[in-house]
Structures are given as structure tokens and as C-alpha cells.
Structure 1
Amino acid sequence: MCTLFKYWRVLATGFSFLMFGLGGVVLTLLALPAFYLMPGSAQLKERRAKALIHYAFRGFMEMMRGLGILTYTVAQQEALNRPGQLIIANHPTLIDIVFLIAFIKQADCVVKSSLLRNPFTRGPISVANYIANDSSEAVIELAKHSFQRGNSVIVFPEGTRTTQGQDLKMQRGAANIALRCDCQVRPVIIRCEPSTLTKELKWYQIPDRPFHISLQPQPVMALDELQQEQIPTVAARQLTRYFEHYFTQELGTHEGTRTGIEAAHH
């Protein structure tokens, strides 16, 4: 029975990826253009597009749950949906961004510019006005305007999925946005048990039981000390180290890690 259920989940996982691709085409060709042609300001059209993608991703997660692929829990959903936050999260699985947007209605995200050349993702990304990572200065400026429009911006400071068994290594993009946009920074801890859809595994290499994903929003970070640093590159480097220490401690992946912003100064 367990073997048959695993075969079913492999088929269901493949079906889910197929539906995700087809959903991108439907959104691009039908749903998003229809929403965009409705009357209203550019900002209203953007909000409609973001909301539509939010509900589509929520439906996708519910479909996967209904197929027996996964279960999930989301804590403090109201904290996730407060406007104008920089949401930084660890990145254990392929579907982390789908999961976050499924529970954040007005979310922007920083995406790889290559996704704008993918026919399955180009349309939703363009209409929803997501931020392409073409250049660091452009990302910061676009994030600043996004915060002003009441959106939250999602960034994975690692830049890619976590490599199992290795220390967390983060890039400076999230720190630069946090420091130069003067926004609230809310960490979100994502856990996936058992591990699956990682960088090392193929999509069909699934665990023996349905995996469980949890989203755990944390308190907003107090960054006053680093925001007062006069040299921006120094502040960004220190904040990036702080992010690394913070997530390492919260995820329990390294013993004896120093805590607090003081750890970033060493």
C-alpha cells in the first residue's frame, strides 16, 4: 500500500508541474489580459494582477494538498500581509515563492531576469510588475517604489535554494534593500519535512510520505544600529552576516552561533 501511494504521489507531482506550466499559459493569454483591460489606474491593474496570481497560487497549493503530495501550516498570516515589508526567507524547496505568494495578497518578488524569457512565466511576471534582478541599483529603486505602493517585497537572501549540508551563504541584495529603502524587515522561516524539491534532487525523487511545509513569520528586525553606519558597503556586509547568523540559529543548522547584530561585527 505504501509503495502504491508513493507511485501515486510521483504521478501527482508530475501532474502538478504540468498544471503549473499550463496555468502560466492561461494566465498569460487569457486571465491577466482580461484583468488588465478592465478600467482603472496602472496601480489598480497591478493590484488586480497580483491578487489573481495570489489566488491562482493558493489554488495550486490546495490542489497539491488534495492530491496527497503535501500538507502545510501558516502561522500569523496577518503579519505576512502587513503592507510595506521586506520579507526575507530561507529557500529550502523549489516551490517556496509559490507558497509565499499564495499567502501574501499584495506581494512583489525579485525574480531572475531569465524568467522574463520563459513563455510560462513571462506574462504573469510582466503584468504583475515583479522585479527582475537585472542590476542591483535598479532592484533597489524598483523595490523602493513598490513599498510606496503598499506592496511587500519577497527576497531570498541566499539567491538560490539552500544546499543541503552546507552553511548558509547569503548575498548582499536583501541587505542593500533593507538599508536603502528604510523598510521594515520581517524574516520568515520555511521548513520542509521530510526534505524534497531541493537543488540536489530531481522532481520525481520524492520522500516516502507527504512532505509538510510550514511558514513561520518572525518579529520585525530592529536594524537601527546598522542603519546608522556611515559607510553603506560596510553596513550591507554586516547586515548580510547578521542575516546568515539569524537564519542559521533559527534553523538550528549550526551549533554555537553568535546571536544578535553584534555577531555581524566579528
Structure 2
Amino acid sequence: MRSSVVIKVLNRLWRQLATGFSFLIFGVGGLVLTLIVMPASLLIVDGPRRERLVKYLIHRCFRLFTGMMAKLGVLTVEFHHLERLDRPGQLVIANHPTLIDVVFLISFMPRADCVVKSSLLRNPFTRGPVKAARYIANDDPDAVIKAAGESFARGNSLIVFPEGTRTTPSQKIELQRGAANIAIRTGQNLRPVTIECAPLTLTKNTPWYRVPERRFHMKFQVGDELDISPFLKGKPSVMSRQLTVTIKDYFTRETAHHE
């Protein structure tokens, strides 16, 4: 009995250390990308080619990072219908339970673009990669829609979290209208991804070192494309509200189904 308790304590301590090590590597990797890789990428004169290279490098780094977390025993992961993300030029929407959702999604998609907080452009660990990859800052809604349309035209897929921030555990899903506005203004259908994390960790207001009793399991379910054509026939402001309700109903239903 005592030995099992000791093993449990040691296992949890290991996962705390492994999680801390993982985030340290993430920070160091971001700094290396900023100080070395991104300046070197400027040698590529062709802007679109440079953007594709930087996006691919970030994709590979995130793939290595998530694989490292799995190898260290921090987490396990499963996914369903991941091949649906292969087609370029998609508007990918997802619920947002954990801190590392976007890391996993970019690790699945070599040409992923995303809407990011403008504060990332002021962070020394993220400024270089964010600028070089031409990720879209969320300052101005009209500028976001314009940049999204241009990104689709360049063959990128765009990741958007309709919630805008991580879900607060035990609270109902509340969405912003950004994803619906982008879909309607650019005419892009929606590709939903439902993300589960059990037991919950790395949630809003939860520090990284508060690890769960066992390693957590991430599950990604890529759904069928949501057709937005019915929402293109009315006033965009009204249709975006209705589409937001449809998105909310989808994720409420899917997350409840998988609980």
C-alpha cells in the first residue's frame, strides 16, 4: 500500500518536472527562432516562399514539441479524421479547453495561419516567429477579415477559436462573432475541430505546475465541413449572429456528447 502511494507521488513529481522542462524548451525554442532562424529567413527574397518556409518550420517545431511531451509521459493524444485538415484554404474553428490547443493544431497543419493576440508581437519569445509567419493580430476586426481573405488566397488555412480565449471549466460556452464574420465576409465554409482534455489541465487560471493526478489525454475530432451558404443571403451583421449561434450549438452538442 505504501509503495503504491510512493509511486503515485513520484509519478506526479516527474510529470511536474517534465511539464516545466517542456515549457522551458518551448521558450528557448521561441527565442532561437526569433534570434537565429527568422533573421536567416530574410535571405529569402520571395515573400510568399519565405512565409511558407516559416510556417512549415513552426509546424515541425510544434510537432516535435508535442511529441516530446508525449514521450516524457506528460500526456497522450488521439485524433480522428485528421486527413480532413490536409486540404489547404480552410477556415478551421475549434473549442479551446487548454493552453496548448493551438500548438497541436499547428502541428497537424503545415500551412496554418492563425489570429493571435497583439501582445504576442511584444513578447520577445514570440515576436519574431509571429511576424515572419504573418500571423494575424486581433487588433482591428476589419483588418483581420481583410488579412484572412488574403491568407486564404495564398493557400493557407486559418485557425480561429470562436471563444476568443480558453474555456472556463464548468461554465457554458460563450462565443465571439469573429469566426462567423470571417466566414461570411470571405465566403469560407467552416471546418470544426472538437478538442477534449481529460483530466482537465492547463485551463484558464490554472498554473502549469498544477498537474492532474494522472497524465492527461488530448483528443481531436475533426468534423464534417459546415456549409455557410444559408448565411450569405441576408445582412452580414444579422447573419453573423445567427451563424455564431449555430457554431455555439455545434460545440455545445459535441462537447456534451464526448463527456
Pair 1:23 & 2:19 matched = no
Pair 1:233 & 2:234 matched = no
* TM-score (norm: length of structure 2): 0.95
Percent of paired sites with the same residue: 55
Matches of 2:160 and 2:167, distance apart in 1: 14
Matches of 2:56 and 2:229, distance apart in 1: 33
Structure 2 partner of 1:89: 94
Matches of 1:192 and 1:19, distance apart in 2: 22
Matches of 1:62 and 1:32, distance apart in 2: 23
User: Could you list the runs of 5+ residues in structure 2 that have no partner in the other structure?
Assistant: 1-6
Structure 1 partner of 2:43: 37
Matches of 1:220 and 1:36, distance apart in 2: 36
The count of corresponding residues between Structure 1 and Structure 2 is: 253
User: 1:28, 1:124 within 8 Å by CA — same for their partners in 2?
Assistant: yes
Structure 2 partner of 1:244: 248
User: Could you list the runs of 5+ residues in structure 1 that have no partner in the other structure?
Assistant: 254-266
Structure 1 partner of 2:3: none
Cα deviation digits, residues 239-265 of structure 1 (max 9, x gap): 111111110001118xxxxxxxxxxxx
Matches of 2:242 and 2:172, distance apart in 1: 17
The residue matched to 1:214 in structure 2 has which SS? strand
Task: Give me the CA root mean square deviation.
Answer: 1.4
Cα deviation digits, residues 120-172 of structure 1 (max 9, x gap): 00000000000000100000000000000000000000000001111100000
Tell me which moved more, 211-220 or 25-34.
25-34
Structure 1 partner of 2:156: 151
The residue matched to 1:37 in structure 2 has which SS? coil
Matches of 1:113 and 1:2, distance apart in 2: 41
- 1:233 CA drift (Å): 0.9
User: 2:188, 2:228 within 8 Å by CA — same for their partners in 1?
Assistant: no
The residue matched to 1:252 in structure 2 has which SS? helix
- 1:232 CA drift (Å): 1.1
Matches of 2:20 and 2:220, distance apart in 1: 24
Matches of 2:220 and 2:85, distance apart in 1: 10
Cα deviation digits, residues 177-222 of structure 1 (max 9, x gap): 0001011210000111111000031111111111111111100002
- 1:34 CA drift (Å): 2.0
Matches of 1:27 and 1:104, distance apart in 2: 19
Tell me which moved more, 23-32 or 127-136.
23-32
Matches of 1:139 and 1:15, distance apart in 2: 34
Matches of 1:36 and 1:47, distance apart in 2: 13
